[in-house]
Chain A
Amino acid sequence: MSKSWKLFVWLLAAVLVLSACGGGGKSSSSGASGGSSSSSSSSSSSSGDAQDPVELTAWAWNVNVGALNEAIAMYQKDHPHVSLKVEDIGRLDVYDKLSTGLAAGGAGLPDIVLVEDDRIHGYLDAFPNGFANLSELGFDQYADLFPDFKKNLTSLDGVFYAMPFDSGPTGMFYRRDIFEQAGVNPDSIETWDDFFNAALEIKNKTGVYAFPADKFKDDANFRMMMNQLGVYYFDKDGNIDFKNPKVIQAMNNMKRFGDADLVKDVNGWDGTVSATVDGSVATIPFGAWYYGTIIDQAKETEGKWGVFLLPAFEKGGNRAANLGGSSWMIPASSKHKEEAYQFMAFFSTTPEVQIMAMEKYGLFPSLLTAYDSPLFTSEVSFFGGQKIWQLFSEEMPDIPTPYYTKDYAIAFDEAVKAQADVFNGKDPAQALAEAAERLASRTGRAVNEY
């Protein structure tokens, strides 16, 4: 009797100990939070001269992986003891893994993680202790190297939590040959009205769509148009702005192209890329980073591409907008915070690194000192000799700041639903008003009335 009781207690104790390992970890530096990599056995986080080898791990996706790998090679010239293992994980999977890891107190997270600017504040709000305080590590000294809108996105209450990387000044990537075939001069397009007429012309003559959109799952075009008009899901006080006439104007613009069957419905990123490659769309409105995908995936169309800025909503109106862009964060659970910070600070503030990332991967830098490079006035042969980097860098100062807030993901969800309703025939103003009400009840935020 006493023996089996003892056994039971022993079992229970074992279970408790094990489950404590699994679920505990409020203190981010607990021993159980080892990364997935086999980091060097000797502890090396001391700031002394110890040059024990350190292997950092990073999560990133797409072209960012290559940029990171080349940057570490540059960094290793002066820091031979630091090595980097980059895990190429899909964009959304990074977020899933990051959320799960943060919720588990930092278990299994890498030392460096790429996060898009629109998500940073959401993560900081949800996991206030989840990320390393970069101001404490010394990043404030670099603050003046970046444009204001990027600073706002990477910091919270004056404290940096992310190191700015690329931005996405937008443009219409277009196929010169398709425009020529239809007899449309891209230089003559100044407004969305101009573009609409040109798109009709192109569709009639060549059967090619104006632009691709993941009509029922993504609203990238809509977001660019909103940003261009100086509005977004939220205003700067965090109130829901779906009923703003300018937001409705942007949605009406989408509807107009949809109704005229000028929008090619594509399935996600892959669908957009295949439309880019197979020439079924005349333009792709996207951030500057799409350059990297075009030169990578559509090699055989070299020389046939060009870029012009988003058309304005009225003659002489703003044509600058931003889509995407990302920054680097260091999870607080990292065992090599200092080393990770040193490397990423090098990455973010060294013009050579940023220019490499842009030249080879099309990742447009936010680092102001990088714009002095002759690259920014060079002619890009893939784009028919156009000075596309000059176009994008000159666009940068005019980009209005978008307000994402922590509820960005929910607002995005509602905006996509509104867009889906519009493409299925609903009136844009009504669809947006309904989305505004749903968003208000989901977030407890006020809706701006007009």
Chain B
Amino acid sequence: MRTKAHVPYLFLMPAIVLFSVFTVYPIVYSFLLSFQTGAGGNMKYAGLANYRRLLEDSIFWKSLSNTFIILAVQVPVMLFLALVLASMLHSLVRGRAFFRISFFMPAVTALVSYSIIFSLMLAGDGLVNQLLEAVGLKAVPWLSHPVWAKAAIILALTWRWTGYNMMIYLAGMQNIPDSLYEAASIDGAGKIRQFFTITIPQLRPIILLTAILSTIGTLQLFDEPYTLTRGGPSDATLTIWMYLYQTGFRYFDFGYASTLAYVIVVLIAVLSFVQFRITGGKD
């Protein structure tokens, strides 16, 4: 029997090896890199120099605050929207599949095509502004004004991910017993009251899950600012992940880029922990 003990490990081998090469090794290597300075090929150990540089780097702080502004506005709005949509769809009798697919579609749209279409629609003379002007409103500098550019990114993100979260909530709602709603309506609670006192509390662990997923996603936000605004105007939509990318691949400063990566790791860990503590206490 002992001879067969290794067999499971042999089957696990491919996964372990791939995981080690493509995940463990880069994680360890980038951690070491974060203590090195230099460009491209020639790196030198420099202790905490990169971490000290971080503290004085105004662009880093700006990208961090941009990321948090987008996070603070976009995630709650999107999750609430997703909840409302989900409960509406849940109570729908006919056409549920149609709406479900329609709302989920953006999440499976190819990223590049979606970004290009948004950048065309939001351009100075794009479709959105033409519509605004047609109804007598002023054109909005969607991609060129510091505040509006953030709004444009939030808009695009919300369009893309609301349906995705809605699907998760819909799945969660299957587990809420109908008897709760029945009892509530007998007691005279309206739909809105039911939504806030039954649906939301019952979905609590799922809301926590989506909040964590969305937070992680937003902290790693890259595609939308990259394709829509290139981080501009004047860094107004530069996210920390995009700054990391620029530092590594535009300026070849892989050491500092790794430092930024570890800042993101720590941020995600801390934020997830906090959210867990706040929302997940009862479970």
Contact = CB atoms under 8 A, between A and B. Distances in A.
Interface of A: 3-4, 7, 11, 14-15, 18-19, 22-23, 95-96, 99-100, 102-103, 122, 125-130, 215-217, 265, 267, 271, 406, 409-410, 413, 416-418, 420-421, 423-424, 438, 441-442
Interface string B207-234: 0000000000000000000000110111
A130 B119 CA distance: 37
23 contacts: A11-B13, A15-B25, A19-B25, A23-B25, A23-B29, A95-B249, A95-B250, A99-B249, A99-B252, A102-B41, A103-B40, A129-B41, A217-B229, A265-B123, A267-B120, A271-B123, A413-B250, A417-B235, A423-B144, A424-B144, A424-B146, A438-B58, A441-B56
Nearest to B149: A216
A447 to B, nearest CB: 16
Nearest to B146: A424
B222 to A, nearest CB: 13
Given A7-B6, A103-B40, A413 B144 contact: no
Contacts of B24: 15
Given A102-B40, A103-B41, A424 B59 contact: no
Contacts of A96: 249
Nearest to B122: A267
B124 to A, nearest CB: 5
B282 interface: no
B251 A130 contact: no
Given A15-B17, A127-B41, A267-B123, A420 B251 contact: no
Interface residues on B, range: 35 or more
A424 B237 CA distance: 15
Contacts of B269: none
Query: Which 10 A-B residue pairings sit nearest by Cβ, starting from the closest?
Result: A126-B40, A420-B233, A126-B252, A216-B233, A126-B39, A417-B234, A15-B20, A19-B25, A420-B234, A127-B40
Contact of B16 (A11, A95, A102, A418): A11
A215 B124 CA distance: 11
B156 to A, nearest CB: 15
A74 B230 CA distance: 41
Given A100-B249, A424-B234, 19 more contacts: A7-B6, A15-B24, A19-B21, A22-B22, A95-B250, A99-B252, A103-B252, A126-B40, A216-B143, A216-B229, A216-B233, A217-B230, A267-B123, A267-B143, A417-B235, A421-B234, A423-B233, A424-B144, A441-B56
Given A265-B124, A267-B119, A413 B41 contact: no
Contacts of B143: 216, 267
Contacts of B161: none
Nearest to A217: B230
B185 interface: no
B98 interface: no
Contacts of B230: 216-217
B42 interface: yes
A386 B59 CA distance: 48
A413 B246 contact: yes
